[in-house]
Amino acid sequence: MKKKDIIIIGSGIGGLTAGALLTKKGFKVIIFEKESLIGGRALSFNTSNLTIDSYLKILSNYNMMIPFSEPELKTIFEKKKLLGYKLDLGYHAIGGGVLSNANSVLAELNNHVDILESYVGLIKENEYVFPFLSKIDKIKIFPNILRLLLVSEKTLKKLDPISITETINKYGRGKMKLILEIFSRSITTINNLDLISTGEMFRSQRNLYRGSKPVGYPKNGLESITEKLADYIKQNGGKIYLNKKVKKIIIEKQKTKGVIVDNKKYLSDIVISNTLVQDLFKIVDEKNFPKDYTKNIKSLKGTGSLCAYYSLNKLDKELIGKTFHFIERNIGIDGNDTVGMIDFMASSPDSGIAPKNKFIVQSYIICNPDEAKNFEILKKLKILLDKNLEIIIPDYKKNLNWAIYPAIWHLDGVAKTIENEKPDIKTPIKNLFIVGDSVKATGIGFNCALNSARDLVEHLSKK
Ligand SMILES: Cc1cc2nc3c(=O)[nH]c(=O)nc-3n(C[C@H](O)[C@H](O)[C@H](O)COP(=O)(O)OP(=O)(O)OC[C@H]3O[C@@H](n4cnc5c(N)ncnc54)[C@H](O)[C@@H]3O)c2cc1C
């Protein structure tokens, strides 16, 4: 291999974004992906030819399971009820809508993805409002939004150790309190407001305000983004190998030399790991790293949720394209209250993820990773998800084709909490870098993964 060859481990959104942008900069990129599909947790798959076993296997590979479904999952598959659908692993909304971070990366590659986008409404006890903020609310909070957009990084750093609980106690009055309670949770996927950093929350929120509308969903699913990135890599000389698990990262004298795949050595100048950071030491010998670094990485925790996909045979046109938050109080889980979303963006026939005259409603409710494995808690959360959909569509059960409830305990690689110190893109090993949502970068989830890759490309381009 010539100089500046780069090996990327994993084709999640972080690995693909880094791969595409580095290809554009003239680096020679090879991606090894252990699964048979690209995308990582931003995965879309055609469910028509899927077997129940392969579905459950994909989910378990990504720290997920299906605790409930309607009818039984076995029946859903036997009756081929998933024919013609294209699903993601679970509920996905991309922060920032049409002008999302994803489209700014694609613009650099002279490409674009069509994104359905929405403001957010609120489901109350017996009714719903859309949008959440009235014109008067917007006028009232406009000075706060302006301040947020203009706030310096120095001020945000000062707010990093301040919890949202403290911020609410100081500034949370009226609707502002509700905004902070709901948006802090939905942006970070963490219910416990004591754990959410005000600085990080504001950084992520600012990132959203710079988009067009707060949330979006790409037409034809998440794969419309990941495929465009992968196509760019392949069309410009890069390579993506599927079903190729990296067994080991080779390190000599504190410097990375390449990787081992299928007992073969592949040498490169730079190695970028896109794996969950907690899995890093499964493929690299931890004795090469300072003890504090390894200890911190091993202690990092992700976020969790219970999602629901409802397929409806009928849907009021008024709802199509809209998204709603809800908050449920005093339910006895970590953080006491929980927030969720019920989303009709993907119900649009333009979403391309459901057969004609079937409408997908995506939803999720937040819990922590341990709660996402606790059947009794999940039962409680499922009731709350169904109840909130019922407030919007009282007779939805009459029109229910099927419902699948995926639970996930690694939605975000690393939760952006005050306790978790996300690692930097640079590691203590020379020429070994990490990208993905486990890494320190702007935004949460999908956007964090993508932005970590942009940060890395900027760093490597400067070198
Ligand atoms: C159900 C669900 C719902 C979500 N909802 C949202 C949402 O609404 N909004 C949002 O912003 N984010 C959401 N997320 C989070 C978002 O999907 C992730 O933040 C993002 O996709 C993570 O990308 P990544 O690049 O960090 O890594 P990943 O997607 O984890 O990709 C890592 C890749 O590395 C591969 N790999 C690992 N080890 C090896 C190895 N040894 N050799 C080769 N390949 C390897 C994996 O197979 C994988 O493809 C959700 C996630 C899930 C699962």
Domain end residue (candidates: 408, 430, 449): 408
Closest ligand 1 atom to Cα of 38 = 49
Residues 392 and 263 in one domain: no
Confirm or reject: Cβ of 12 under 6 Å from ligand 1.
yes
Nearest protein Cα to ligand 1, atom 5:
92
Confirm or reject: Cβ of 408 under 6 Å from ligand 1.
yes
Confirm or reject: Cβ of 41 under 6 Å from ligand 1.
yes
Task: Specify the CATH number for the domain of residue 19.
Answer: 3.50.50.60
- Residue 1 reports pLDDT greater than 50: no
Residue 344 confidence (pLDDT): 98
Residues 86 and 121 in one domain: yes
Residue 3 confidence (pLDDT): 52
Nearest protein Cα to ligand 1, atom 31:
12
Residues 107 and 25 in one domain: no
Residues 296 and 308 in one domain: no
Residues 325 and 457 in one domain: no
Confirm or reject: Cβ of 312 under 6 Å from ligand 1.
no
Residues 35 and 141 in one domain: no
The pTM is what?
Answer: 0.95
Residues 320-376 have pLDDT tens digits of 999 999 999 999 999 999 999 999 999 999 999 999 999 999 999 999 999 999 999
Range of the structural domain that residue 23 is part of: 5-43+221-300+419-462
Residue 95 confidence (pLDDT): 87
Residues 69-101 have pLDDT tens digits of 999 999 999 999 999 999 999 999 998 878 889
Of the pLDDT bands very low, low, confident and very high (cuts 50, 70, 90), residue 172 is confident
- Residue 240 reports pLDDT greater than 90: yes
Look at residue 67 and tell me if it is in a domain.
yes
| CA 44/CA 24 separation, integer angstroms | 25
Domain end residue (candidates: 408, 432, 449): 408
Residues 275-293 have pLDDT tens digits of 999 999 999 999 999 999 9
Domain end residue (candidates: 363, 388, 408): 408
Look at residue 314 and tell me if it is in a domain.
yes
Nearest protein Cα to ligand 1, atom 12:
445
Residues 106 and 212 in one domain: yes
Look at residue 451 and tell me if it is in a domain.
yes
Residues 76 and 101 in one domain: yes
Strand order in the sheet with 128-129: 64-70, 400-408, 304-312, 359-367, 338-343, 323-328, 120-123, 128-129
- Residue 305 reports pLDDT greater than 80: yes
Q: What is the rounded average pLDDT of the residues 300-305?
A: 96
Closest ligand 1 atom to Cα of 261 = 42
Q: Which long-range contacts (CB under 8 A, 24 or more apart) does 187-190 make?
A: 187/95, 187/444, 188/303, 188/415, 188/416, 188/417, 188/444, 189/303, 189/304, 189/305, 189/366, 189/411, 189/412, 189/415, 189/444, 189/445, 190/303, 190/335, 190/366, 190/368, 190/415, 190/416, 190/417
Confirm or reject: Cβ of 199 under 6 Å from ligand 1.
no
Q: How many domains does the chain contain in total? A: 2
Confirm or reject: Cβ of 37 under 6 Å from ligand 1.
no
Confirm or reject: Cβ of 40 under 6 Å from ligand 1.
yes
Nearest protein Cα to ligand 1, atom 50:
411
Residues 105-133 have pLDDT tens digits of 999 999 999 999 999 999 999 999 999 88
Least confident of 34-38, 65-69, 96-100, 404-408: 96-100
Confirm or reject: Cβ of 445 under 6 Å from ligand 1.
yes
- Residue 148 reports pLDDT greater than 80: no
Look at residue 157 and tell me if it is in a domain.
yes
Look at residue 413 and tell me if it is in a domain.
no
Residues 107 and 124 in one domain: yes
Look at residue 414 and tell me if it is in a domain.
no
The CA 14 to ligand 1 mean position distance, Å, reads: 8
Confirm or reject: Cβ of 304 under 6 Å from ligand 1.
no
The CA 10 to ligand 1 mean position distance, Å, reads: 9
Residues 72 and 118 in one domain: yes
Residues 294 and 229 in one domain: yes
Residues 216 and 82 in one domain: yes
Confirm or reject: Cβ of 223 under 6 Å from ligand 1.
no
